[in-house]
Amino acid sequence: MTPLVRSVRSADTLTRDALAVLQPGFTGTTAPDWLLRRLGQGLVSVGLFGRNVADPAQLAALTGRLRAEREELIVAIDEEGGDVTRLEVRGGSSFPGNHALGAVDDTALTRAVARELGRRLADCGINLNWAPSADVNSNPGNPVIGVRSFGADPQLVARHTAAYVEGLQSAGVAACTKHFPGHGDTAVDSHHDLPRIAVDLPTLQERELVPFRAAVAAGTRAVMSAHILLPALDGEHPATLSPAALHGLLRAPATEGGLGFDGLIVTDGMEMQAISATYGIERGSVLALAAGADAICVGGGLADEDIVLRLRDALVRAVRDGELPEQRLADAAARVRALAGRTRNADVGEREGAAPAPGIGLTAARRALRLTAAGPYAPLAEPAYVAAFTPLANIAVGDETPWGVAAELARLLPGTETATCTAEAAAAAGTAALVDGLLTAAAGRRVVAVVRDVHRHPWMADALSTLLAARPDTAVVEMGVPQAPPQGALHLATHGAARVCAQAAAEALTDQRLSPGE
């Protein structure tokens, strides 16, 4: 009977460890029964997305219900502030994103913004934030990072990454610095395909890795891997699945050229095409654990019990088939449980010490605003007409979150109207006809053109130039990376599309100010 008892106990332990390393999502604003049941069976982490959030009270009730089932629990969210917000997915963020903070370049401000964001997360019962992005935005054409990066200078990104980690964790929320070893030099979005970064190791060390070293030195409790291929490091596997990247670089001691990180390694979403279309989610998850990852993030797209059971069974099967060492799975599960215990036991005092700073986000957005005037520009005093040149939103940002200045401008100048212009509309009507339609609708009112990464979108640049030729008095608000030369009678660079960035721009256009609560 003894061998049978050992076998049953081993099988139970293996299953619990396999559940422990998963960070799944779910749908709805209340916890489904299947999720509560799996928490009782060994699941240690839950990931939240915009679909799970209605308001702070609902979110606190949701996390409270989850913890009633398992007290030591990691509740994670993808809350970068700025363009990528889940807490305020339907209204826009109260905090500017990284690019705005990098433009100000005041680490005390970055620390204060991250602390206030962390305080709000902690009040809602969230203790792990999949942030900050430590990517160096060295490729201005990057389709997925952009304003999510503090900037293009590795040292600037490093000091603000460290400040963000310190601020977030001082509020009792663990930081998960991403996307290791750096997603900034990509021209492909890993949500759709596998990006390839053809840089040599010295460049990687001197550019991409500088902010991650700073994050490790600042005590980041977690690091998220990127689904990117770096042939200089590993010619076959993307970083998430690469022992050379995770075990050999991230974990290796500094004396061996590594970062010496001993915290939790979390994968980026495994349903992203860079992994799922190449390896499959089950196979990819096994390879990620074997490579050194500790937690498998899934649930942005696949968010039901089926995916949890598929991944659990795939990991158990891999151990039994000898593809995944049992000790590797056990070590990963132990790291997850250790962070769950630490966030519960060590951070209560930190949370109590995080004094509210409700206006810090708007303060930062105002400081990040950059104005360039072609000549004297009279502030708007009457209702304006806003032409929003709208690119396709990337998956990280999503299309639920509103952007632009029309809503904030209408608060200051009631009667302000807006029109949305897309690449499809420009192609269908032609640029000249599109702009003629805008000017007809404007009916003599002053025009505000809103763009987002105009340097990346030829159709947008063409439409803007045509508009400015017809109406040189047009004001231009760039809410992406201000890479293109300033144009317009007045050019405002907000360095992001958060709601507070729009408010700062609207104030500048009208020479008025609103308080955060107005």
> Which residues carry out catalysis?
191, 268
Q: Which residues contact 371 (CB under 8 A, 6 or more apart)?
A: 490, 491, 492, 508
Of 125, 315, 340, which Cα lies nearest the Cα of 222? 340
Tokens of 147: 């304003």
Residue 167 carries which DSSP code?
A: H
108 SS3 class: helix
- H or E segment and range at residue 420: strand 417-421
Cα distances (Å, whole numbers) of residue 263 to 85, 179, 494: 25, 15, 35
332 SS3 class: helix
Phi first, then psi, for residue 306 (nearest 5°) are -60, -45
Whole-number Å distance between alpha carbons of 230 and 428: 39
188 SS3 class: coil
DSSP E strands, 83-225: 128-129, 174-180, 222-225
**Terminus-to-terminus CA distance in the chain, angstroms?**
72
Helix H, strand E, coil C: the string for 244-309 is: HHHHHHHCCCHHHCCCCCCCEEECCCCCCHHHHCCCCHHHHHHHHHHHCCCEEECCCCCCCHHHHH
Of 481, 439, 500, which Cα lies nearest the Cα of 147? 481
Q: What are the residue ranges of helices labelled H in 325-422?
A: 326-345, 348-352, 360-368, 406-412
3-state SS of the chain: helix, strand, coil percent to 5?
45, 10, 40
